[in-house]
Structure 1
């Protein structure tokens, strides 16, 4: 199941249900040219749901890499993606950052505040995910991880004072409709469309994100 959360007019995206994980992974590779790789999944053992990694205390149940060489496994080929998920149809869909996009990760409350502010500013947004652990991830052009700290400082915020993290090379995000433990599935707050195929530079959206995170920090 893949859903979107309609919170602003910038996120008026119809819900989609019934998309299988293998088909969705292949579509991300084929239509968006995003690299994808299968991660862990949730499974039930003796009636108890747990991550397929077997760790009962897993920090990212059902939504983390299943192998150490995941970076080399990631593919932008829809054909290869289908072959990978044919072996593990329930595997989560993970996408490496630092390649075709980076992601700016913020708390959900700050993310929705920033979305509303960006709409008023008529900023061009890329896709945005909302995760079950109440985080939002804004897709931006690669290279953001290297420059966001300086951009935040120029805006007058010490980077360490904000709950704003940029995911670049060596990191990954979980893509809809990946399930995260028993909390639910990753969803689109702003769905990938033809209109947002070209991603914004981090510099274009970091100001409203930093402002929103700053407000949350003061609370």
Structure 2
């Protein structure tokens, strides 16, 4: 990897969040959404939404109309995070990419197989709740169930879902309350700017999720 490429990879923890959000917009043309954040109240971290039972503290949209609030403007993104520097960085799916979501153990197994097969792999996130999300071309949500069936598997029997229109992923360095931060298992670089189609990656993912289910 050249120094130029390395300089363009969003840092996982050291870069200020406004800078990271702007990089996602400018370098990947991803729309970004400023979500909730973590607050410390009485010595306890909780989600800014105020729900003590929040399922994803600090890492979900703050408003019901979040899909309309996502922006592809670097100027708007910087202003949003300068106003709320602790806000999570959320990326709407179904626009410039979809994401195939699998358990962490299955994700790392699939990733190793993909590398051995020399497949094109896009960015991949690893979340604190032990999930991995593989970024693929938009439209995957509609085709993945049929692709799984074509491989002789039943979609409902696998812990594999596809996030498309109306969904989102949390991007590094977003933190989940008490669990840690989202990280890149494979960072965005100029080399993986062009995303794979879900059809290219589905076989290793189905194989890995099948093994995970048998465990």
- TM-score for the superposition, normalised by structure 2: 0.94
Any idea what the Cα deviations from partners look like across 1:113-167, whole Å, max 9, x if unmatched? 0010001100010000000000000000000000000000000000000000000
The SS at the match of 1:25 is: helix
- Give 5+ residue unaligned stretches, structure 2: 1-8
Any idea what the Cα deviations from partners look like across 1:181-211, whole Å, max 9, x if unmatched? 1110000000000000000000000100000
Cα distance in structure 1, aligned partners of 2:172 and 2:24: 10
| TM-fit CA distance, 1:83 | 1.1
The alpha-carbon distance between structure 1 residues 187 and 53, as it changes in their structure 2 partners (threshold 3 A), is same
1:158 corresponds to 2:154: yes
1:198 corresponds to 2:171: no
Conserved 8 A contact 2:173-2:183 = yes
Question: Bigger CA drift: 136-145 or 78-87?
Answer: 78-87
| TM-fit CA distance, 1:59 | 0.3
Cα distance in structure 1, aligned partners of 2:10 and 2:86: 24
1:39 alignment partner in structure 2: 35
Conserved 8 A contact 2:12-2:184 = no
1:5 alignment partner in structure 2: none
| TM-fit CA distance, 1:176 | 0.2
Matches within 5 A, 1:113-152: 113-152=109-148
Conserved 8 A contact 2:13-2:173 = no
The SS at the match of 2:85 is: coil
- Give 5+ residue unaligned stretches, structure 1: 1-12
Cα distance in structure 1, aligned partners of 2:74 and 2:10: 24
| TM-fit CA distance, 1:16 | 5.1
Cα distance in structure 2, aligned partners of 1:110 and 1:46: 38
Cα distance in structure 1, aligned partners of 2:168 and 2:107: 19
- TM-score for the superposition, normalised by structure 1: 0.92
Cα distance in structure 1, aligned partners of 2:168 and 2:111: 22
Runs of 4+ residues deviating >2 angstroms: 13-17
| TM-fit CA distance, 1:14 | 10
The alpha-carbon distance between structure 1 residues 60 and 17, as it changes in their structure 2 partners (threshold 3 A), is closer
Cα distance in structure 2, aligned partners of 1:14 and 1:94: 15
1:26 corresponds to 2:22: yes
